[in-house]
């Protein structure tokens, strides 16, 4: 049985809600060491392993992980500085807010141009952003990066469940993803909530990016803290299409986000409907436990895909893969 046994040195890009959750999650892993984190104003690097509490305190107190005592530094080009340590980093979790829509793809391209040779995973959500990453496949294959696009919750965990469920059917008629997210307070996930608002009628990525915190708070006051999202532009569609499972038009993603209550407003489900080789129509369903947080459902799979991608990287399999192409591996 093939297994990766090394302790992987992991960097996290982005110190927002997801990045900080990844930092806390990595503190509990024996198979991974968290060696670097970067945000827009600084970075912290320690090849022996960062102190998650210190990173969190620095981020809370000063707004940048660069203020972490000993391991931190302020920087006008934190990603560039982090790339100086690229040779010592096995895997990168790109947890940056993707505003504007080509920001994460441009960061990935920069890693490739600097000759980074490791594993990268993202938690991108939009189809158009995922398409930009997929276009980098020849470059990443050439450089020697093994990349997993859409490795969060949706796309990610739920897309993988859909790809598994599809196996019983000869033809898939629809994949419906319906998520519920509850967070106690939107300010812990400023970028994620803005990306969600961009999916609402009358908004787009630019409009959401321009909103001040007061604008967001005012909108949430109007809706009672609830964001209801339908027919979202979500990369589950292109990922399942590229995996050959189903035409992207047959994939629908929607959900309800409660920004004032950590309890999920609805259970998150994936429903895969298809016809078997005998001609019977049926549906498999995958339902997430309500007690699992967005952070657990995004960052867990991201690290699981990183472990799987590292295994492939050691076998010289490079380029852009998706969360429907490879099985995420459990990180102890």
One residue of 40, 73, 174, 292 binding a second copy per CB under 8 A: 292
Stretch that binds a second copy, among 33-41, 97-105, 183-191, 314-322 (CB under 8 A): 314-322
Catalytic residue among 3, 171, 187, 195: 195
Comparing CB distances to a second copy, the nearer of 178 and 297 is: 297
Q: x-or-dash pattern for a second copy, window 217-256, by CB under 8 A?
A: -------------------------xxxx-----------
Comparing CB distances to a second copy, the nearer of 255 and 319 is: 319
Residues 11-40 that bind a second copy (CB under 8 A): 21, 24-25, 28
- CB burial of residue 49 (10 Å; 0-12, 13-18, 19+): middle
Q: Should residue 165 be labelled a site residue for a second copy when binding is judged by CB under 8 A?
A: yes
Q: Should residue 121 be labelled a site residue for a second copy when binding is judged by CB under 8 A?
A: no
Reduce the secondary structure of the chain to three states and give it as a string.
CCCCCCCEEEEEECCCHHHHHHHHHHCCCCCEEEEEEEECCEEEECCCCCCHHHHHHHHHHHCCHHHCCCCEEECCCHHHHHHCCHHHCCEEEECCCCCCCCHHHHHHHHHHHCCCCCEEEECCCCHHHHHHHHCCHHHHHHHCCEEEECCECCCEHHHHHHHHHHHHCCEEEEEEEEEEEECCCHHHHHHHHHHHHCCCCCCCHHHHHHCCHHHHHHHHHHCCCEEEECCCCCCHHHHHHHCCCCCHHHEEEEEEEECCCCCCCCCCEEEEEEECCCCCEEEEEEECCCCCCHHHHHHHHHHHHHHHHHHHHHCCCCEEEECCCCCCCCCC
What backbone torsions phi and psi does residue 14 show, to the nearest 5 degrees? Answer: 105, 130
Comparing CB distances to a second copy, the nearer of 40 and 168 is: 168
| Adjacency order of strands within the sheet including 32-39 | 72-74, 42-45, 32-39, 8-13, 91-94, 119-122, 146-149, 319-322
One residue of 73, 128, 168, 174 binding a second copy per CB under 8 A: 168
Q: Should residue 169 be labelled a site residue for a second copy when binding is judged by CB under 8 A?
A: yes
One residue of 10, 46, 304, 306 binding a second copy per CB under 8 A: 304
One residue of 72, 105, 118, 301 binding a second copy per CB under 8 A: 301
**Catalytic site includes residue 284:** no
Q: Should residue 128 be labelled a site residue for a second copy when binding is judged by CB under 8 A?
A: no
Comparing CB distances to a second copy, the nearer of 83 and 306 is: 306
**Catalytic site includes residue 195:** yes
Q: Should residue 53 be labelled a site residue for a second copy when binding is judged by CB under 8 A?
A: no
CA distance 79 to 88: 15
One residue of 134, 140, 177, 309 binding a second copy per CB under 8 A: 134
Catalytic residue among 3, 29, 85, 125: 125
**Residue 238 beta carbon to a second copy: minimum distance, rounded to whole angstroms:** 10
Q: Should residue 295 be labelled a site residue for a second copy when binding is judged by CB under 8 A?
A: yes
**Catalytic site includes residue 125:** yes
One residue of 148, 163, 220, 251 binding a second copy per CB under 8 A: 163
Q: Provide the annotated active-site residues.
A: 125, 195, 199
User: Which parts of this chain interact with a second copy (CB under 8 A)?
Assistant: 1-3, 21, 24-25, 28, 134, 137, 157, 160-161, 163-170, 172, 242-245, 276-278, 280-293, 295-297, 299-301, 304, 315-317, 319-322, 324-330, 332
């Amino acid at each position: 049985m093939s297994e990766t046994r090394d302790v992987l040195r992991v960097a996290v890009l982005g110190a927002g809600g997801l990045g900080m959750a990844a930092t806390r999650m990595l503190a509990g892993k024996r198979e991974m060491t968290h060696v670097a984190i970067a945000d827009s104003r600084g970075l912290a690097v320690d090849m022996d392993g960062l102190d998650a509490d210190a990173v969190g305190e620095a981020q809370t107190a000063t707004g940048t992980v660069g203020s972490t005592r000993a391991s931190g530094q302020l920087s006008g080009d934190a990603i560039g500085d982090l790339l100086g340590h690229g040779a010592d980093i096995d895997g990168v979790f790109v947890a940056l807010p993707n505003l504007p829509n080509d920001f994460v793809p441009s960061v990935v391209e920069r890693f490739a141009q600097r000759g980074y040779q490791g594993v990268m995973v993202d938690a991108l959500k939009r189809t158009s952003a995922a398409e930009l990453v997929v276009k980098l496949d020849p470059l990443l294959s050439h450089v020697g990066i093994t990349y997993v696009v859409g490795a969060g919750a949706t796309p990610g965990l739920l897309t993988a469940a859909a790809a598994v469920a599809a196996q019983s059917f000869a033809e898939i008629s629809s994949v419906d993803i319906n998520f519920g997210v509850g967070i106690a307070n939107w300010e812990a996930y400023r970028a994620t909530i803005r990306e969600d608002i961009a999916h609402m009628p009358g908004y787009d990525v630019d409009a959401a990016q321009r909103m001040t915190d007061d604008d967001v708070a005012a909108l949430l006051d109007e809706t009672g803290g609830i964001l209801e999202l339908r027919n979202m532009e979500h990369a589950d569609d292109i990922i399942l299409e590229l995996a050959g499972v189903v035409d992207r038009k047959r994939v629908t993603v929607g959900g309800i986000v409660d920004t004032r209550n950590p309890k999920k407003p609805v259970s998150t489900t994936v429903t895969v409907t298809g016809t078997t080789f005998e001609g019977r129509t049926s549906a498999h369903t995958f339902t997430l436990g309500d007690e699992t947080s967005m952070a657990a459902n995004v960052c867990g799979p991201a690290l699981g895909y990183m472990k799987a991608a590292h295994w492939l990287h050691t076998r010289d399999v490079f380029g852009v893969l998706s969360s429907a192409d490879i099985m995420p591996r459990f990180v102890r």
